[in-house]
Structure 1
Amino acid sequence: MSEITRVLKTFIGYLKRPDLYPELGRKIIKNTVNRGNAFKGKEKTNSWAAGRAVSQKEAVSKLFAVEIDAFRSDYADVLHTAAQKEKACPVKMGGPGALELLYYACEFAGAKHVVETGVAYGWSSLASLLSLRKRDGVLYSSDMPYLAQDGDQYVGYVVPENLKKSWKLFRFADKESLPKIFADNAVFDVLHYDSDKSYNGRMWAYDELYKHLKKGGVFISDDIGDNSAYQDFCEKNDIETTVVEYEGKYIGVFVK
């Protein structure tokens, strides 16, 4: 698909969905007036992150006092089936991230309520749900429709059917999804951010999510090296964060 075709298909997709008009307006502003903000402070934060980054194994051991090795063996069959489903999927989305970090964050927090932004195949959703099912917990997810490709039917594709009863999926932009989620449940044990990568989008979401995180809960943000939003947020709130280097990218995580 050419870039022009993709943009045109996305625009038409927005026009067909009046409930997404607010996000269309924000997209237009982000890609015109605020275009330079997407990568604001990127060089500063990558230097900062590189100077303190640890491995996923080290982070889980330090923060949650457990070793991560059992995860891959305990859930070998589930993970194998999920990998086969991803391989067979005709639509390509983001692959699995630091699953152990998310799973053991839920275990550490004794999570019953988790919120995530960004779903794609649903790898992170799967990691959270594997922990939540032990406590009859619920995962709340925010994920924008895939307007430029016919991928909506594959969102959460790797999540097994037996786990979906504990999953509430909101198909809007974060600014519409999160208020709906917080109206349904106000306090969360674990928060996982992996959606709007822009500086302004992150700063808005970080503030909103942080307000709804319980004391002792875990905050995780993927791709913090895209710009300085995560670093600035932590410094503004005097948060001592751990930085995880995973597959060449940086993840931020802290316990409130």
Structure 2
Amino acid sequence: LLEEVFKFVENKHYLDVPAIAIYYYAYKATKERDNEEYFQRLKEQIIEHGDLFPQSEIRDIYLLAINYTIGRMNAGVEQYVRETFELYRRGLEKKILIQNGLLSRFTFMNAVINGAMLKEYDWTERFIHEYKDYMEEQYRENVVHYSLARLHYEKKDYATAMRLFSQVEYDDILLNLNAKTLLLKMYYEEDELDLLEALLESMRMYMRRKKVIGYHKANFKNIITITKKLVHVNPYDKTQRENLHKEILETNPLPERKWLLKQVEEMG
């Protein structure tokens, strides 16, 4: 039935109607994620006709588009880091992503991470200070602290980032584990192997004490396991390097795959 509706819409030129087109492309982008044309059409509709929709409605459409781009990012399609950032920037400038005077802490952190990854350092720092008061007070201090530390990490200012991350045990479990993952990467790159070994053990114990479930549990467990192997692999043994490289490629979930592969490849 739904396919018949879509054919009717396509044949009768209803895609010229913004209210129909935007939901048509949103649905198609969600269902056919590998067909990037649907997302591009959705983005065009948002830019050209977004102002025609009530604030709450266009906000939901923005979040759907952002979820699509984050999914593509997680699948390793790097151009979607920029696509995600531009959606956040536009949505924030137009106050679309602010609801009842509040900005979700997840939206705040994702905007920071995307901006910093793209080296949009000035925008990111300005965003942190200008938008922090839109967050709920109970999350504000931790999220702002993490965001500033993350910004310094992306700028390769490891001394400041390590100092900031080491100062705080975040209340939020995932925030804490994400901070520890960044510390782990910095310790490895700075050859602080004793600190790294201690951190890996503390992460393992932390996960035993706290309720980390599903995808997140598997993700951080894999990071700990692979990083331990990375530390102990013989960099001069080609077979060991190749075996670890293969294991990293085959391990899922593993969002830090790109970084881990880079460390192995640099050994050779």
Please give the TM-score of this superposition, normalised by the length of structure 1. 0.28
Q: Which one has more relative contact order, counting CA pairs under 8 Å at least 6 apart?
A: 1
Q: Normalized per residue, which structure has more strand?
A: 1
Q: Normalized per residue, which structure has more helix?
A: 2
Please give the TM-score of this superposition, normalised by the length of structure 2. 0.27
Greater Rg over alpha carbons, structure: 2
